[in-house]
A and B are shown apart, each in its own frame.
Chain A
């Protein structure tokens, strides 16, 4: 079964070139049942990545382009009066899909943002007193422009917290980009082969809980979050929800690497993606150095028995 995951990675990597690590993290996030936030400049392949993810898992996919005048109803759906049946009928909005790409999430008004984030948390939508369940698995990929780009409503910390991971794609390297340019033009229509079906995906997700996390690993996670709370580097420290997220993501990462127990490297691999958007530097001078989660890792010894 795990080899299927490897196949999925390879499939996606034919489309997103030279971004193995990021693709793996995105898969990890999906396996862990969390939502993914991709933060990057326009044109870096955010949309392509989410398309590819949906395709290899054979999930249905919809895309919502967020703008400043997008209303919650545009996304969730509306009740429309049906003249023939003389009753209201619910027209589900684009959010009723298994993979939802919420594009440029920080351009929408806070009202719409919070409607989406509520749906992400509850896996259901309430409209006019009726609850509509979202399909399972339900996976939201939010993309956002870096905050310093004009015309954005930055997500508040409490809502950033809903995303299990935040991944930054960044520019591809020389070879990868050259290879991309050499590819034939018509590859827009290329469909990736489905390698995992829904049943298998759900089974994998259930298997996650069985991956062994030894006491040493739990202590390592606790040392990390405690350091973030006690050090003067961070203004926002890691919450218990964050430590749960780290463990869940690390298990998923171990699954991706065909291991049924956790090792410190799993934590170290996922921590930047899981923790970076939950931390905030205490002082501007810290921000400018290396990334905050990198600093956090460098201060804590994984062994320290």
Chain B
């Protein structure tokens, strides 16, 4: 039997479908495409039911078949998704099926609660301020849907007003809870979905096409408490790559193993250094990786952060969400405290074959120049005098990439230069390695700096007697890259941010201002809301309470519960306080209270005359007579046309009768 349409012109159902649609769309990445299509179908079905194009719902049998099929498809595709993503897909799939089925009250409430849960899940995946606002809006829409469910015939404006008032009342309580609720650690392992999007990776192959330079996503932010490094000092180290196979650079497996061993043994690398330093806090965006960012030599006291022997900052866990850590960078100190014989061994390795012309050139140069310094100078001259060009659109170099780069194309970006230079240094017997990270950063105000993915850079480090020395061959070719950032360095070929929509508008002043303002807001959001960690909370509590003793905490908790109760009470106050505008009602209600104490509660729907009869049965005698007169005067004042004088007379009677009733009741009860 076809089921009747419960959704026709039902705003509650319409809003619910809308929320499900937006919710699913915001989870575009973790969801599978077919589930999004299913959601879309469900919403279209609901919409046509709402508009009454379609009068009957799908039958339960059809839906059951669809559910079984979907479950099979999800089981088939969902194996490799892992628990969290699998569950999320299952939940969205189930809610889309439920939306098709939606008929009874129970279905509706189930779906509403699932939507609230999905909003929470969405906040796990999307944390920027824009998404937070979107999810806030969705929550409001869900509440509005509930309001429509409870009173379907009220107008939109009235409903929104009601929901708005409720939310405003809830806001102070929510703020209190945000500030003082103990922060729990994450309950589950986060998926590693976003790793490929960052500008850096643990393996750099310069011969592949350039991709990293074009993303305008934020990499991290730094807030300086000391002087700010000038532009030529902003070399943010992320990864030290020591293993070269002729094409790609990557973290040396041996170094990796060593790092694991040190870390499991709890041995930290603590170079003895002193001198001036930059002091700053970094808020790194989630990368799903462990590397962190710092200016050399970066020392962090954060327990989360660990310094490796190649001066690289490493996090103890993958960066599933933004991580804030404090760093001191001793920029004058030499990098000379590694493990010298290991550094030497790893950084002289060259592949036995490949790139023959480069080999030949290196041998020739080495023979001509005595001493490391002279050889280095000769390598530098190769780049300065060779007619090289900086570009973001190099040709692919599948075979012997260094040869092709140095002798044929003579055009490439930082990774090409760094790779070729480090390779030539190694061929000449100088230990050298590639360092990747970010060069630059955009100052906002005079304290904080944003570094974007397009600031990604690669340079070379070579080992001298005074430790590791930085050598950036890219700057030899394109000095603009260092002083003005990538944007100016490649201005001539217009390839900067080619893939980002609206990139062309960066030159319009007010738009740029707006972009920076958004960036500011996002910064404040991630610093103060997302970054509000357990430590911040404890600091706040400490500044409020002084020393954190259990008694103080308990008292504080108690005070807080009281504060919330007080807030809730304030909203109800109007209903609790007696209404003095109608004095007769006030006296009458007093009398009712007296009776309620004796166990006779007036049902809230009963009229005064009917109740009077009940009283007469229950308390015969003086009390009933008293209450009878009370009722008479109350009704006279409220329901009959009367002159002022009569009103006054009745009121004085009421005033007299209430204590009499009290007395009569106590006598009867005693």
For the complex, count residues of B whose C-beta is within 8 A of A.
26
A13 CB to closest chain B CB, in angstroms?
23
Check B640–A229 contact: CB distance below 8 A.
no
A190 proximal to B (CB < 8 A): no
The digit string for B588-627, where 1 denotes a CB below 8 A from any CB of A, is 1100000000000001111111100000000000000000
- Interface segment out of the listed A37-45, A73-81, A103-111, A294-302: A294-302
Chain A positions within 8 Å of B252 at CB level: none
**Which A residues contact B (CB, under 8 angstroms)?**
212, 214, 216-217, 229-232, 237, 261-265, 268, 282-283, 297-303, 305
Most buried by A among B579, B581, B606, B609: B606
Chain B residues with Cβ below 8 Å from A264 are 607-609
Q: Tell me, rounded to whole Å, the shortest Cβ–Cβ distance linking A162 to chain B.
A: 22
B635 close to chain A: CB less than 8 A: yes
Q: Are A305 and B582 touching (Cβ within 8 A)?
A: yes
CB proximity of B576 to chain A, nearest CB, Å = 14
Binding site for A on B (CB under 8 A): 105, 149-154, 579, 581-582, 585, 588-589, 603-610, 635, 638-641
A212→B641 contact, CB < 8 A: yes
For B603, the chain A residues whose CB sits under 8 A away are 298
CB-CB nearest in chain B for A213: B639
**Measured between alpha carbons, how far is A91 from B105 in the docked complex, in Å?**
57
Distance to closest chain A CB from B136 (angstroms): 26
Which of A216, A230, A302 is the one whose CB lies under 8 Å from B605? A302
Contacts of A305 in B (CB 8 A): 579, 581-582, 585
* Minimum C-beta distance from B592 to chain A (A): 8
Q: Which of B579, B607, B641 contacts A302 (CB 8 A)?
A: B607
> In the docked arrangement, what's the CA distance between A264 and B585, Å?
14
**Smallest CB separation, A46 vs chain B (Å):** 30
* B639 contact from A217, A229, A237, A301, Cβ within 8 A: A217
Is B605 a contact partner of A299 (Cβ separation < 8 A)? yes
Using CB atoms, name the residue of chain B closest to A283: B105
- State A232–B581 Cα separation when bound (angstroms): 32
Q: Which residues of chain A are near B581, meaning CB under 8 Å?
A: 305
CB-based contact A265/B605 at 8 Å: no
Q: Do the beta carbons of B640 and A212 come within 8 Å of each other?
A: yes
Contacts of A301 in B (CB 8 A): 604-605
* Residue on B nearest A220 in the bound complex, by CB: B607
Q: Does the CB pair A229–B579 fall under 8 Å? A: no
Given contacts A230-B153, A232-B149, A298-B605, 16 further A-B contacts (CB under 8 A): A214-B639, A214-B641, A229-B151, A237-B153, A261-B639, A261-B640, A262-B639, A263-B607, A263-B609, A263-B639, A265-B610, A283-B105, A298-B603, A299-B605, A300-B605, A302-B606
Determine whether the beta carbon of A263 is less than 8 Å from that of B608: yes
CB-based contact B608/A303 at 8 Å = yes
A176 CB, nearest partner CB in chain B, Å: 24
Q: Across the interface, which residues of A come within 8 angstroms of B105, CB to CB?
A: 283
Q: Which of B585, B605, B608, B641 contacts A261 (CB 8 A)?
A: B641
Residue of A nearest to B640 (CB): A261
B150 x A232 contact (CB < 8 A): yes
Chain B positions within 8 Å of A262 at CB level? 639
Question: In the assembled complex, how far is the CB of residue A101 from the closest CB belonging to chain B, in whole angstroms?
Answer: 34
Least CB distance from B659 to A in Å reads: 21
Please determine whether A232 and B151 come into contact, CB atoms closer than 8 angstroms. yes
A264 to B638, CA, bound (A): 10
Query: Distance in Å from the Cβ of B221 to the closest Cβ of chain A?
Result: 49
For B151, the chain A residues whose CB sits under 8 A away are 229-232
CA distance A299 to B640 in the complex (A): 25
Instruction: Give the residue among A261, A282, A300 with the most B Cβ atoms within 10 A.
Output: A261
Q: Which A residues lie within 8 Å of B607 (CB)?
A: 263-265, 268, 302
